[in-house]
Amino acid sequence: VSSISTNSPDLAIELDRSRPRGLRAQIEGELRTAIRSGRLAPGTALPSSRALAADLGVTRGVVVGAYDQLIAEGYLRSRQGSGTVVNATAGPAARPGPASSAPVPPVAVDFHPGVPDLDLFPRSAWGRATRTALQTLPDADLGYIDSRGLPAARRAVAEYVGRARGVSADADHVVICNGFGHGLSLVAAALRRAGHEAVAVEDPGYDGARDTLALAGLQCRGVPVDRHGLTVDALDRTGARAVIVTPAHQNPTGAVLSSDRRTALVDWARAVDGYVIEDDYDAEYRYDRQPAGAIQGLDPARVVYSGTTSKSLAPGLRLGWLVLPDELVGPVTTLRRAADSATSSLVQATFAAFLTAGDLDRHLRRTRLVYRRRRDALMDALDRWFPEATPGGVSAGLQVTITLPDGMDEARFVERAVRAGVRPYPLDRYRVGPRRRSLDPAGLVLGYGHLTPAELEDGARRLGGVAAELPD
Amino acid sequence: VSSISTNSPDLAIELDRSRPRGLRAQIEGELRTAIRSGRLAPGTALPSSRALAADLGVTRGVVVGAYDQLIAEGYLRSRQGSGTVVNATAGPAARPGPASSAPVPPVAVDFHPGVPDLDLFPRSAWGRATRTALQTLPDADLGYIDSRGLPAARRAVAEYVGRARGVSADADHVVICNGFGHGLSLVAAALRRAGHEAVAVEDPGYDGARDTLALAGLQCRGVPVDRHGLTVDALDRTGARAVIVTPAHQNPTGAVLSSDRRTALVDWARAVDGYVIEDDYDAEYRYDRQPAGAIQGLDPARVVYSGTTSKSLAPGLRLGWLVLPDELVGPVTTLRRAADSATSSLVQATFAAFLTAGDLDRHLRRTRLVYRRRRDALMDALDRWFPEATPGGVSAGLQVTITLPDGMDEARFVERAVRAGVRPYPLDRYRVGPRRRSLDPAGLVLGYGHLTPAELEDGARRLGGVAAELPD
């Protein structure tokens, strides 16, 4: 029995040459089995009869005959001008998938925090930058590259964060990664391997970061946040030698870390021989106060700086960067190499072209105006419909907090709100420890960047209605 | 003292309004400091004087004056038609970077294995697919997506691997990841959390996989490979309940796992309640033997199937996929979410468009011919210049092994070869345990996919010269 197979387009058909007169039946049989088993999915285009015949070493008539038979049987159909495809009604029942998470009831206005307006993504500028990258990227950059990233992308990022955020960066200390969470997971793994057992986190603070730390085998130690940001003098009690902090616009309270505390924070890192992990959250969107530069500039040897395009462009890009202290560059790069090697070099080259052409600056100028208008619209609407709520963190970012009037319970408020067609997010999901009633008022987070002024008005009206109906 | 700042383009200039007549000097001073400190890197384009003036709320003349002064001082220069940029001679000395790894001496012919010819990357087809993706991707797909990947990309991959490799896949069980190593790191972490302590690996086998397992806290247990592939009956002795295997074209020997052993392997996985991790290595490039379908089809509940575009397109894309047993979908997806969330949705959408348009099939047809010709050229040249070497693994993939004549030492051969201008790769780096002299001949790996026929001829000639000069 000798058999050959087709290389093209990978149908994996095997013919038994010892039965030459059965060739058409063999092709039919192979295709039928492949379609019934789901190996050839509905809609799949088959090769032309000429191509398949050439690949299998049979006459074209054999393949045409097999195709015709299967069209007659309903397995295949002819598509006007584009050959033969697997019929939509063919194929097996779907294998049951894993259970999906419980469905979230739909609401008219969802204040989910943490995403920009994706409709503002600069598709044509990104397309232009992609063309530039495809035209100019050297072949070698399509291979296995430096795990820190392409030198051109690292240089462009170093230049940008230096200029826009006062970060002291050169390309050697930049690692291009797949967003903030990815960068944090690398740094957390490096700290764990260096003997760290715990990391201090803001309380309230970003819950996703705590998940990432826990997966790296690190404990989270909550440190209270007040209106000047992280209470730095409480760090010593934690026993941790590293802390994650959002100094530009604390997530979720919106506090800007005060100047005294910035200095104290870096002093603490030096004293414990540890690190500050600076999540430069929402720093691109500042509306009416002066930008506070990054802490990293105070001591590049003690601060891990982390930025992302998830808020400024789109989370789906999965693109961010770390600027690392010298002694973390090696460990983080080694971990990166053994995990996913590097961020896609085409994405990196595209972003470098995008930055270098000034497209990020242009996009930020344009969207800052849009988001400022939305922020103003939300403030006006809350003032009108829900004046008892005290807003916070309004000077920057894509979300605000509101403090609920005395005695209102977050979970109960959210439950009623969802029934009233609006979804705010309880501060509770950000808290590390239980709420301390006296210090820590009940509150909600309202993400507004993705909502139009009309939606914001509607949402505020619904929130005010819920508050009015809740008994004190 | 009141101060304002510019939002645009993020120069972070702060003006002290209480000294209005010093505004030009203040702007000059801020820019000078930023350039000297490296915050504004050479080549950075400054905003137009009109834009900066508007942002700072000063007259345009003030900004023009500041720019002119800094041009005169050599900090800035005017660029024909494109504004004002930071001068290349300005800026601080670079901060010293981390030590780079030892330089590799250059050779005329480098047989490094594991990369395709990057010059063959289908740039224009990829550009077309990118345009399609940018035009059709819904906004929501630019946000935080299912960590398994975009449904359209998972469907396209399921269809492709079903058709081309006989994999039993539906979109629910596919996870799009950033290449084989990344997929393995996710699976390894999931196994570790499920209580696995060791994973069996092929000996010789791919050393990068062992690094990834070690980082996940798993021990590697070597299992010998012979000319029929992994010696499955040796698995029981390892105590492991999972094994990584390259059945289509064993890396590095090129053996195809025999049909008996395929069945035995899946039986073993069932018996130990474990998994086979199938690295479907080089399966796209088969030259003169029938393709062996993926093992996964034998038992989708026991086999983790892993594919990548690193050999078929380019490693720099960082794009691959897992087809997972039902019970691993949840754990792997959870780990993925906490690490880098998902693969870039634009890359996924581009690949889905590329696959659906038939561009991968076309590319594979074209490159298969190129690589087959190179394989033939290398075989001819070895036959001519180094007939004592016995080639293996020649029927598929982008590399062959050669067995060295009796008594020749791999390390010594490689050292001499590099001095003769050619770099082969010793089998030793693939070995888990020490070489067993009787069973396991000394050998070299020659990657040829990236070399032209003339280079292959030259390389074989140099190898033959080294062999002729080495004493027995």
Contact B228, B262 (CB under 8 A): no
Confidence check on the interface: ipTM exceeds 0.85, yes or no: no
Check if A33 contacts B (Cβ < 8 Å). Answer: no
Q: Are A222 and A256 in contact (CB under 8 A)?
A: no
> Which residues from chain A sit within 8 angstroms of residue B127, using beta carbons?
130-131, 134
Chain B residue numbers with beta carbons less than 8 Å from the beta carbon of A293 are 12
Name residue B85's beta-bridge partners.
B45, B77
B123, B130, B164 ranked by CB distance to A10: nearest: B164
Q: What is the pLDDT of residues A205-227, one digit of tens each?
A: 999 999 999 989 999 999 999 99
Cβ neighbors of A111 (< 8 A, separation 6 or more) are A399, A422, A423, A424, A425, A444, A445, A446, A447, A448, A451, A459
- What's the gap in Å between the CA of B360 and the closest CA on chain A? 9
What pLDDT is recorded for position B13?
76
What is the residue-averaged pLDDT of chain B? 88
What is the Cβ-side half-sphere exposure of residue A90, based on CA atoms within 13 angstroms?
25
What DSSP state is assigned to residue A84? E
What pLDDT score does B19 carry? 61
- Interface touch B41/A163, C-beta < 8 Å: yes
Chain A contact for B72, CB < 8 A? no
Cα separation, A429 vs A447, whole angstroms: 14
pLDDT at position A103 is 52
Q: For an interface test with A, give the residue of B86, B344, B348 to mutate (most A CBs within 10 A).
A: B344
CA of B9: which chain A residue's CA is closest? A361
User: Cβ separation of A165 and B338 shorter than 8 Å?
Assistant: no
Cα distance from A27 to chain B (closest Cα, Å)? 14
Chain B residues lying within 8 Å of A119, measured CB to CB = 139
- Say which residue, B36 or B225, is predicted with more confidence: B225
A318–B340 C-beta distance less than 8 A: yes
**pTM recorded for the entire structure:** 0.81
Distance from the Cα of A20 to chain B's closest Cα (Å) equals: 18
- Determine the straight-line distance between the first and last CA of chain B, rounded to whole angstroms: 86
Residue B398 scores a pLDDT above 70: yes
Q: What is the pLDDT of residue B74?
A: 63
B127 at interface of A, judged by CB pairs closer than 8 A: yes
DSSP A92-151: PPPPPPPPPPPPPPP-SEE---S---GGG--HHHHHHHHHHHHHH--GGGGSS--TT--H
Q: What is the pLDDT of residue B163?
A: 92
CB A85 within 8 A of CB A45: yes
* Residues B252 and B114: beta-carbon distance below 8 Å: no
A contacts of B347 (beta carbons < 8 Å): 344, 346-347
Structure-model confidence comparison of residues A156 and B83, the more confident one: A156
Asked if residue A108 lies in contact with residue A417, where contact means CB atoms within 8 angstroms, the answer is no
**Residues on chain B touching A26 (C-beta within 8 angstroms):** none
Smallest Cα–Cα separation from A348: which of A309, A382, A383, A319? Answer: A319
Judged by CB atoms closer than 8 Å, whether chains meet at A95 and B14 is answered as no
For chains A and B, CB pairs below 8 A equal: 290
CB neighbour list of residue B434: distance below 8 Å, 6 or more residues apart? none
Instruction: Yes or no: say if A221 and A201 are a contact pair by the CB < 8 Å rule.
Output: yes
Round the CA-based radius of gyration of chain A to a whole number and report it: 29
| Minimum CA–CA partner of A363 in chain B | B9
pLDDT at A250: 94
Q: Nearest-CA neighbor of A289 among B252, B433, B297, B14?
A: B14
Q: Where are the alpha helices (DSSP H) in A252-317?
A: 259-271
Q: Which of A124, A143, A170 sits opposite B95 (nearest CB)?
A: A170
B178 to chain A, any CB pair closer than 8 A? The answer is yes
- On the question of pLDDT at B95 being above 80, the answer is no
The tens place of each residue's pLDDT in chain A, 472 residues long, gives: 333 333 334 677 777 766 655 777 788 778 877 776 667 877 788 888 888 887 787 888 888 878 877 775 667 777 766 688 887 654 443 333 333 344 566 899 999 998 899 999 999 999 999 999 999 999 999 999 999 999 999 999 999 999 999 999 999 999 999 999 999 999 999 999 999 999 999 999 999 999 999 989 999 999 999 999 999 999 999 999 999 999 999 999 999 999 999 999 999 999 999 999 999 988 889 987 666 789 999 999 999 999 999 999 999 999 999 999 999 999 999 999 988 999 999 999 999 999 999 999 999 999 999 999 999 999 999 999 999 999 999 999 999 999 998 888 999 999 999 999 999 999 999 999 887 766 678 999 999 999 999 999 999 999 999 999 876 5
- How close does chain A come to B166, measured CA to CA in Å? 6
User: For an interface test with B, which of A40, A163, A351 has the most B Cβ atoms less than 10 Å from its Cβ?
Assistant: A163
Q: Which of B31, B39, B167 to mutate to test the interface with A (most CBs of A within 10 A)?
A: B39
Instruction: Say what angle helices A123-136 and A345-356 make with each other, to 10 degrees.
Output: 110
The stretch B33-57 carries a mean pLDDT of 78
Select from A131, A163, A364 the Cβ nearest to the Cβ of B39: A163
What long-range pairs does A222-225 form, CB within 8 A, spacing at least 24? A222/A431, A222/A432, A222/A433, A224/A439, A225/A250, A225/A253, A225/A255
Rounded CA-CA distance B301/B283 in Å is 21
**Stretch 307-326 of chain A: residues touching chain B, C-beta under 8 Å:** 314-319, 326
pLDDT at B106 over 50: yes
List the single residue in B126, B143, B365 with the smallest CB-CB distance to A9. Answer: B365
Mean pLDDT of B145-156: 97
CA distance A105 to chain B (A): 18
Nearest CA in chain B to A213: B338
Contact A391, A470 (CB under 8 A): no
CB A91 within 8 A of CB A44: no
- Please write the tens of the pLDDT for every residue from B108-119: 999 999 889 999
Chain B's closest residue to A97, CA to CA, is B172
d(CA B150, CA B141): 7
CA distance A35 to chain B (A): 9
Yes or no, beta carbons of B345 and A318 under 8 Å apart:
yes
Q: Of A341, A348, A371, A450, which to mutate for an interface test with B (greatest number of B Cβ within 10 Å)?
A: A341
Is the N-terminal amide bond of A441 cis, ω within 30° of 0?
Answer: no
Residue B334 reports pLDDT greater than 80: yes
Q: Which pair of tokens denotes residue B78?
A: 């005017």
pLDDT, tens digit, 9 for 90 and up, residues B339-365: 899 999 999 999 999 999 999 999 999
Q: What is the pLDDT of residues B228-246, one digit of tens each?
A: 999 999 999 999 999 999 9
Average pLDDT over residues B417-443: 88
Within the 188-217 window of chain B, which residues sit less than 8 Å (CB to CB) from chain A?
208, 211-212, 215
3-state secondary structure of B147: coil
Q: Is the pLDDT of residue B251 over 80?
A: yes
What sign has the CA pseudo-torsion A33, A34, A38, A44? negative
CB nearest B338 (choices: A131, A141, A185): A185
pLDDT tens sequence across A41-89 = 777 888 888 888 877 878 888 888 788 777 756 677 777 666 888 876 5
- Report yes or no: B344 at the A interface, CB cutoff 8 Å: yes
Which pLDDT value is given to residue B10? 62
Query: What band does B456 get if pLDDT is binned at 50, 70 and 90?
Result: very high
| Residues 275-294 of chain A whose Cβ lies under 8 A from any Cβ of chain B | 284, 286, 290-291, 293
For residue B139, the model assigns a pLDDT of 96
The nearest alpha carbon in chain A to B40 belongs to A163
